[in-house]
């Protein structure tokens, strides 16, 4: 358990926040409690074959009923902060109208419990959870306006007690998995015709920032993007061109407008693919580029890209639409992998931070690592305990890589890194993978709901005890 404890504890700067993260659809359950209405993930999970094990978000880790246990686990861990998301359809059934009193009461209880335990609430407003009533989802500009309205309502209600607000989580994953490849909700496979969802999500972010500021929230405001350093599979010009294309579509179209107020320049050979950005109103870009108090960066892995069609494999499951793209993902066989098959490459964490520093310079606000973690094939003993040395090694190496990169002389020197959130506090319902992937530092028995801290939890607890 004590492997890596001392080195990690010594690296933590004074005031550096350590926390854990979850998302409402993945842990709350209680689908029939109060007046919660279906989200796009309820509808997606109801379609045969969409979720790997056929499960649904109806119960998950049942945090709606067991939130006090979860806060107690965070307090015992020594966590500074807890990042969680708001269930849009729990707070605003049907996606319209005033906030529902029962939904508000749940989040009041959770926030107050956190504050009583000395834990800062970091609230994500939209974490892939959208009311089914928005039939075209993020393809419709009206969804951006709805997010802004919802942000204003929750800002007015909870804004005096929330330490930090994240408007939207990983718009890249929503666009690519949900609208381009069809492997996440709502299940559209539009390839490059999905690009309007980029602009509408970012516009929703900007409108949410404006609404939160108008509501007078006391906490900082930011966005969370997932960054993946992209490497070409070879030195060939074709592979290099496709790696650049993937970098644009995965990283830059989501970060550049927020931080620079413009979409990235696209090589002429790809210009037609990005026609959705050709007539974006300047007023929209000004809204998207609202000044931020922090930038949330999620890191999981690098991506290796080669020219030519692939077989339909993606990091998050089989996607037939992948075979229609002009590039393919190549394995990084030199690295070990997580339970999801993702490469374990902590050195690229520093590269991700260095890339955002180089690209955005003084326009980059202070940074929080809002997600980093790994699933592994945890084996529980007869008491439900899990010894997970691979997860301990993963977390120690990745946190160490990030801190080393931003230290004096590091590749990302100049980035003000303020904190790190482990994904995830709990084993949860892992979207299209259902219950087949366990990311938590706390094991959840999905039959009984029982929580059992893993060895990785005890490791992080000791790191936090010994810091400073």
Q: What is the pLDDT of residues 277-298, one digit of tens each?
A: 998 999 999 999 999 999 999 9
Q: What is the mean pLDDT of residues 324-337?
A: 96
Structure tokens at 379: 């084996």
Q: Which of 13, 23, 86 lies closest to 298, judged by CA? A: 23
pLDDT at 239 over 70: yes
Q: What is the mean pLDDT of residues 127-155?
A: 97
371 catalytically annotated: yes
Do residues 355 and 416 touch, judged by C-beta distance below 8 A? Answer: no
Name the residue with tokens 């959840």.
Answer: 444
Q: What is the mean pLDDT of residues 382-393?
A: 96
Strands 81-85 and 164-169: unpaired
C-alpha dihedral sign at 337, 242, 128, 395: positive
259, 166, 131, 193: CA torsion to nearest 10: 20
* pLDDT tens-digit readout, 83-96: 999 999 999 999 99
Q: What is the mean pLDDT of residues 95-115?
A: 98
Q: What is the mean pLDDT of residues 412-431?
A: 98
Higher pLDDT, 220 or 313: 220
What size, in residues, is the chain?
A: 468
| Cα 203 versus chain centre, distance | 18
pLDDT at 336 over 80: yes
pLDDT at 188 over 60: yes
The answer to which of 15-19, 312-316, 382-386 has the lowest mean pLDDT is 312-316
Residue 311: helix, strand or coil by DSSP? Answer: coil
Q: 55: buried, middle or exposed (CB in 10 Å: 19+, 13-18, 0-12)?
A: middle
Q: Which DSSP symbol is given to 174?
A: I
Query: What is the tally of structural domains in the chain?
Result: 1
> Residue 242: how many CB atoms within 10 A of its CB?
23
Please calculate the CA angle 204-210-212 and round it to the nearest 5 degrees.
100
Render 336-404 in DSSP notation, one character per residue.
-B-TT--B--THHHHHHHHHHHHHHGGG---EEEEEE-------B-TTS-B--HHHHHHHHHHHHHHHH
Give me the pLDDT at residue 1, please.
Answer: 45
Q: What is the CATH number of the domain that holds 202?
A: 3.20.20.80
Please calculate the CA angle 115-130-340 and round it to the nearest 5 degrees.
80
Give me the pLDDT at residue 161, please.
Answer: 98
pTM attached to this predicted model: 0.98
Q: 466: buried, middle or exposed (CB in 10 Å: 19+, 13-18, 0-12)?
A: middle
Give me the pLDDT at residue 257, please.
Answer: 98
Do residues 165 and 220 touch, judged by C-beta distance below 8 A? Answer: yes
Residue 244: helix, strand or coil by DSSP? Answer: helix
Query: Rounded mean pLDDT of the chain?
Result: 97
Do residues 184 and 432 touch, judged by C-beta distance below 8 A? Answer: yes
Do residues 339 and 456 touch, judged by C-beta distance below 8 A? Answer: no
d(CA 38, CA 149): 19
28, 188, 371, 462: the catalytic one is 371
Q: Which of 262, 255, 264 lies closest to 227, judged by CA? A: 255
pLDDT at 442 over 90: yes
Q: Which DSSP symbol is given to 99?
A: P
d(CA 386, CA 209): 41
Domain that holds residue 324: 5-466
Sheet order of strands, 327-330 included? 230-232, 303-307, 327-330
Give me the pLDDT at residue 3, please.
Answer: 58
d(CA 226, CA 254): 9
Q: What is the share, in percent, of the chain residues with pLDDT greater than 90?
A: 96
Structure tokens at 381: 């003993």
Please enumerate in sequence order all residues whose Cβ is within 8 A of that of 403, keeping only pairs 6 or more positions apart, or say none: 11, 12, 13, 417
190 forms bridges with which residues in the sheet?
A: none
d(CA 332, CA 442): 29
């Amino acid at each position: 358990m004590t492997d890596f404890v001392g080195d990690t504890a010594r690296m933590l700067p004074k005031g550096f926040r350590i926390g854990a993260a979850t998302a409402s659809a993945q842990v709350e359950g209680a689908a029939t409690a109060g007046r919660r209405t279906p989200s796009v993930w309820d509808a997606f999970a109801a379609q045969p074959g969409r979720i790997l094990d056929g499960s649904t978000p109806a119960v998950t880790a049942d945090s709606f009923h067991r939130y006090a246990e979860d806060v107690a686990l965070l307090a015992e861990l020594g966590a500074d902060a807890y990042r969680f998301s708001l269930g849009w359809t729990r707070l605003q059934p049907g996606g319209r109208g005033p906030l529902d009193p029962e939904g508000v009461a749940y989040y009041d209880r959770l926030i107050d419990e956190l504050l009583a335990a000395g834990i800062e609430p970091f609230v994500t407003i939209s974490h892939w959870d959208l009311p089914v009533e928005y039939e075209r989802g993020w393809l419709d500009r009206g969804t951006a306006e709805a997010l802004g309205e919802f942000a204003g309502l929750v800002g007015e209600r909870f804004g005096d007690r929330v330490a930090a607000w994240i408007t939207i989580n990983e718009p890249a994953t929503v666009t690519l998995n949900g609208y381009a490849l069809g492997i996440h909700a709502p299940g559209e496979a539009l390839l490059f015709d999905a690009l309007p969802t980029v602009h509408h999500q970012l516009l929703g972010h900007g409108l949410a920032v404006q609404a939160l500021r108008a509501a007078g929230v006391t906490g900082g405001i930011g966005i969370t993007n997932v960054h993946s350093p992209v490497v070409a599979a070879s030195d060939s010009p074709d592979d290099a061109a496709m790696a650049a294309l993937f970098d644009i579509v995965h990283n830059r179209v989501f970060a550049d407008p927020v931080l620079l107020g413009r979409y990235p320049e696209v090589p002429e050979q790809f210009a037609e693919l990005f026609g959705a950005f050709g007539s974006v109103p300047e007023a929209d870009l000004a809204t998207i580029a609202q000044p931020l108090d922090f930038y949330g960066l999620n890191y999981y892995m690098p991506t290796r890209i080669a020219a030519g069609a692939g077989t339909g494999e993606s990091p998050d499951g089989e996607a037939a639409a992948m075979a229609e793209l002009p590039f393919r993902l190549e394995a990084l066989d030199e690295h070990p992998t997580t339970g999801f098959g993702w490469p374990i490459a902590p050195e690229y964490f520093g590269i991700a931070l260095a890339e955002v520093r180089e690209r955005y310079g003084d326009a980059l606000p202070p940074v929080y690592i809002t997600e980093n973690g790994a699933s592994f094939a945890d084996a529980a003993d007869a008491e439900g305990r899990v010894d997970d040395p691979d997860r301990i090694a993963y977390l120690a190496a990745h946190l160490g890589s990030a801190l080393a990169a931003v230290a004096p002389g590091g590749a990302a020197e100049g980035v003000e890194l303020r904190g790190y959130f482990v994904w995830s506090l709990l084993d949860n319902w892992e979207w299209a993978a259902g219950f087949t992937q366990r990311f938590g530092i706390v094991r959840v028995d999905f039959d009984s709901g029982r929580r059992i801290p893993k060895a990785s939890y005890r490791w992080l607890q000791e790191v936090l005890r010994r810091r400073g």
